[in-house]
Amino acid sequence: MCNRPFAVQKEIDYAIALLKHNGDSRAEHHRESFETCPDCKRQKCLVPSDRIELTRHMKEAS
């Protein structure tokens, strides 16, 4: 991760406080996602090429 802030910490804290106020018991679990920049989120979600099963995808397409 690049450790660049995606939003001002005060805004993140406010968003989490709103979630808690609205009854979201998992509000604090969203913090990492809110604090991560979009580029880092995309990199985190990429599947390494050695874990992709091409034959499975080819069967589904035919």
Examine residue 20 and state whether it is found in any structural domain, yes or no: yes
Residue 3 lies in a domain: no
Q: Is 57 part of any domain?
A: yes
Residue 4 lies in a domain: no
Q: What is the enclosing helix (H) or strand (E) of 20?
A: helix 9-21
Is there a domain that residue 1 lies in?
no
The verdict on residue 25 lying in a domain is yes
Residues whose CB falls within 8 Å of the CB of residue 20, separated by 6 or more in sequence, listed in order: 27, 28
Q: What is the pLDDT along the chain (62 residues), one digit of tens a residue?
A: 687 777 889 999 999 999 999 999 999 998 888 888 888 888 877 766 666 666 665 665 55
Q: At a CB cut-off of 8 Å and minimum separation 6, what does 22 contact?
A: none
In a domain, 42, yes or no: yes
pTM of the model: 0.59
Residue 19 lies in a domain: yes
Q: How many domains does the chain have?
A: 1
Task: Return the CA Rg of the chain.
Answer: 17
- Joined together, the tokens standing for residue 36 give 């991560």
Q: Which domain covers residue 32, as residue numbers?
A: 9-61
